[in-house]
Amino acid sequence: MRMMRLVARPATVSAGVVSLWVLNTGAMAHEVVVLRLPSGQGIGERPIGPDGKVNEAGSLGEASRSCGTGEGDGIAPGTMAWTTLTLRPGRYELVCNLPGHYLAGMYTELDVTDR
């Protein structure tokens, strides 16, 4: 059962420079990490380690700083974070990788199309 969620609007964007603005409307800190989705793999299917996190090696970017860009200590409730990255066409999975949050349902797909 998904207890937390992550929503991408729009869920499809054109390849190139993409700015991600993340608004935390929840009651606790969150983050967004951008991972490529291997072909044949769906969102929510990553193995979860004993620390409650998924492997984020190969992350293409992250928004986890309250009112700022890039990596931080988590996005505080009621604040925004952002990051800008260059994405090639393909399927991506946006995840919150704070312990237990992926298991709770904090993942969504972002599709990048050829412009």
Per CB under 5 A, residues contacting Cu ion are: 30, 96, 98, 101, 106
Q: Which is nearer to Cu ion, 39 or 67 (CB)?
A: 67
Residue 22 to residue 20: CA distance in whole angstroms: 6
**Minimum distance from residue 30 beta carbon to Cu ion (Å):** 3
Q: Which of 38, 64, 48, 58 is nearest to 102 (CA)?
A: 48
**Minimum distance from residue 32 beta carbon to Cu ion (Å):** 9
Q: Which is nearer to Cu ion, 72 or 90 (CB)?
A: 72
| C-alpha 115 chain-centroid distance | 22
- Pairing type for strands 12-14 and 107-113 reads parallel
Q: Select the residue whose beta carbon is closest to Cu ion and give its number.
A: 96
